[in-house]
Amino acid sequence: MVLNFEMEKLESELKRLKPKRVLVQLPEGIKQNAFEIKRKIEGMGIEAVFSGETCWGGCSISTQEAKDVGADLLVHFGHAQFIKSDFPILYIEVKDELDLKKILKKSLSFIKKYDTIGLSHSVQHKHDIDSVVKFYENAGKKIIISVKKGYAAYSGHVIGCEFGGLKSIADKVDAFVILGNNFHSMGACLAVEKPVILLDVYNDKVRSMEGVRDKIIRQRIVAIDKFKTASKVGVIIEAKPGQKFGSPSFVVDKLKKEGKEVILITMNELSPDKLMNFYDVDAFVELACPRIAIDDFARYSKPLITMKEALVAIGEKSMDDFLKEGVV
Ligand code: SF4
């Protein structure tokens, strides 16, 4: 795999924006390239400070950190724009340059019984989409690219918390193909009731997500049921500007009306270690990335549910509607 950091775009945008000092944010897998990026930026006479905080998605924009270190621009690598910000941000989308011929051929046996395929990709594969469509069309398939909705920056773009674009074409397709990784395909199978096939380009494997949806839904029902019996509840809000999934005051009021004692907790990043110290809290609602509660189910010893799930737990939403709308 060759990572293309769009250095030309970085250079031309820095020339245009003329910052004096930038804070650079790199996703975890790219932090190893910090020196290469530093040399490029500092070679232009611009001071670079690198954020050591985790950067899982376009939601993790460290604007406060940028202000704290006196930067006049935030350079965010690896993700597309997620939310608007009043602090200047330059997004540099990293391209994963891979030869997809082998994996595409392999995928044909997984989609042979489907005529119309919904196609979505993570942002690192936007540049591959035309050739992927052509390949499948040559193989006799009709391809519909997922629509740009919500947090998605482009049509076809899939993010772990945004599947509106897939939901809006679900009625028209027989199955979905996701070009990316397990994180995106798992979210997709929780969001749409159609077969989902993952082209796992990093492991050179094609995988059907069959069975994953049922397993996770069972886990979510267990978490919701346990949450219902909790009397002391922690409502967690994350400091990251893009991770605001629900209104804290709305949830707190609803939980109080249900007779629960509620404590509001703020965190920069949620982790089992941090929650463990709140010994006398029985269960948590997290208004941060919804995938934390879902994907890290086994890591938390106490029930941890999302905003949507809290609404089910307190009877504001029926389980049927929740499942119909999609868990993510
Ligand atoms: S909120 Fe979660 S799923 Fe959404 S972009 Fe951020 S890390 Fe990814």
CATH code (residue 263) = 3.40.50.11860
Domain boundary pick from 53, 78, 94: 94
Q: What is the pLDDT of residue 85?
A: 95
Average of per-residue pLDDT values in the chain: 96
| Domain co-membership, 17 together with 81 | yes
Least Cα distance to 3 among 57, 70, 77, 73 occurs for 77
Q: Is the pTM of this model over 0.85?
A: yes
Output the pLDDT for position 1.
Answer: 67
- Domain count within the chain: 3
> Given this model, what pLDDT does residue 239 score?
87
Pairing type for strands 205-208 and 196-200 reads antiparallel
**Ligand 1: distance of its center to the CA of 60 in Å?**
8
Which stretches does DSSP call E strand in 211-296?
A: 232-238, 261-267, 283-286
Q: pLDDT category, 202, cuts 50, 70, 90?
A: confident
What the block records as the tokens of 150 is: 């919500």
Q: How far is the CA of 137 from the centre of ligand 1 (A)?
A: 32
199: which 2 tokens?
């082209």
Burial call 45-75: b when 16+ CB within 10 Å, e when fewer: ebebbbbeeebbbbbbbbbebbeeeebbbbb
pLDDT in tens, 146-197: 999 999 999 999 999 999 999 999 999 999 999 999 999 999 999 999 999 9
Ligand 1 center to residue 138 CA distance, Å?
A: 34
Q: Tell the residue nearest (CA) to atom 1 of ligand 1.
A: 289
Tell me, yes or no, whether 197 and 223 share the same domain.
Answer: no
- Which pLDDT does position 240 carry in this prediction? 87
What domain range includes position 10? Answer: 2-94
Sign, CA dihedral 241-243-247-249, equals: negative
**38 lies in the same domain as 118:** no
Distance between start and end Cα atoms, the chain: 30
